[in-house]
Each structure stands twice: as structure tokens, then as C-alpha cells.
Amino acid sequence: MRKLLFSLAFAGLGAFLGASARADTFAGSSFAHFHDPSGAVNQNNTTISNNGPGETNNLVTSGAGVKDATNPLGLPNSIEMDSSIFGGVSVGDHFGVSLLRYHNGETTLGTSDTVFPVHLDINFTSPTGFTQTFSFTFDLTITPNNASPITDPANADTLAVAAAFAPETFTIGSNIYTLELLGFQDPANSMAPTTTTFTLPEDTDVSANLIAEITAPPTAAPLPSTAWAGLALLGVVGANMARRRYFAQA
């Protein structure tokens, strides 16, 4: 009988013990800022500007554009990172922190910068207010347009994040979280894989969401009333056993 009582008590207790995700949810906004473009070319062909309400230095253009039948406006290379607002984000959710717009312009060889540093500020408003900043660099690899037509893949340029995104940690109360940038994703397909490299023919565009994730170690779930009942049952069984030993010795 005692073995049965112990088994029932431990079964009731074990059914409700275990790990569970933290209950915090996150909300806020994010803003990207280009700064100090550098490369082995003349920076007079590079400009950093604001594009859109509330944006600051979120657009960089570089290179002397070539006007022709496929590029009548002579548009240069451009990289734009638009701000984003997010809310209701739970631990483990993937969420967008910036929309990248990249135009591979047809430019005179040797007139475009190739290294574009970025600061990305993620401003949390819930569950508490603070800012987490990421710094990374876009590298532009420019290919001479020797193939015909100009849109031939052999003429494609490559835009890539220079190094893997380094995760950042932050603390809210006693909880420690990790914030990580996962890469860029097709904005029309939330199930698409992420990437850090874009290869585009001349005079073409791409848009992609920069995806982030917040993770945290699991924490033990609070004991429900049924589990406390199991502990109480263990106490009753233990008290009865001690009482029987006392009277057996008397």
C-alpha cells in the first residue's frame, strides 16, 4: 500500500514538473544607419541620405551611373535599410527588424565604394525600455560588364554581409536573453531560408527582411495545485510511517 501511495504521489508531481518557455513578450522598433563608407575608390560618388519619414542615414548610393538603354536614368548602386516596428514577439519567434532594398546599378568601373558599415539599433519598449545595437558591414564585389547582354549572369555583382552576425545578450530582471540576427529572408515567404549574400545582374533589385530571434534558457514551470497535493500526500504517508514506528517501539 505504501509503495502504491508513493508511486501515485511521485506520478502526480512529475506530471507537472519540467521546463517551459519564458512568458515575456517583446515589442519595439528598429532603425538602421549607414556611416563612413570606405573602399579603394573615390568617395565623391558616394552619398548617405535619409529616405522615408523618421529615417536617418538609411540610404547609401555609390558609383557613377551609366546611362544606356537598360539604365536610362543612370542609377548607381544603392542599399537602403528601412525601419521596422514589431510587437507580440515571444521567445523563439522570428521577427523582422529591417527591410533591405538593394539596387545593382550599372556604373563606371572603379567609381563605386565597396565597403558599407551599418549600425542597427533595436529599441525595445516592452517589457522594458532599452536599446540593443548591432554593427556589421556590407561588402560589394563588382564584376566588369564584359558579357552581352548587360543582364548576363556573368556580369552580376555580389552584396554580402562581411562576417557572421555576432549574437548579443541582455538582461531583464533576473532573466538573461540572447538576441541574434539570422540573416535576410524573402519578404513574400516567411518559410524561406535566410541568407547573407545576394548575387544580382546589372540593373536589377532585391528586397529582403532582416530576421532576428530572441532565445533564453528554459525555466522550471511553477507547481500547480495538483503537484502541491502530491507533495502533501508524501507528507501524510511519511507521518503515518513515523507514527507506526513510534508505537511499535513503545
Among the ranges given (46-50, 56-60, 136-140, 234-238), the one the predictor scored with the smallest mean pLDDT: 234-238
User: Which residue from 125, 140, 242, 249 is spatially nearest to 199, judged by alpha carbons?
Assistant: 140
> Alpha-carbon distance 59 to 76, whole Å?
12
pLDDT on residue 73: 80
Beta carbons within 8 Å of 213's beta carbon, 6+ residues apart: 92, 93, 94, 95, 179, 180, 182
Instruction: Fill in the amino acid letter for 175.
Output: N
pTM above 0.85, yes or no: no
Q: Three cell numbers at 143?
A: 564584376
User: pLDDT band for position 173 (50/70/90)?
Assistant: confident
Give 80-126 pLDDT, tens digit per residue.
999 999 999 999 999 999 999 999 988 888 888 888 999 999 999 99
Domain chopping of the chain, boundaries: 2-17+222-249, 21-220
Q: Distances in Å between the alpha carbon of 225 and those of 5, 16, 36, 231, 235? A: 18, 10, 60, 10, 15
> Alpha-carbon distance 105 to 133, whole Å?
30
Q: Helix (H, G, I), strand (E, B), or coil: what is residue 43?
A: helix
> Alpha-carbon distance 110 to 91, whole Å?
46
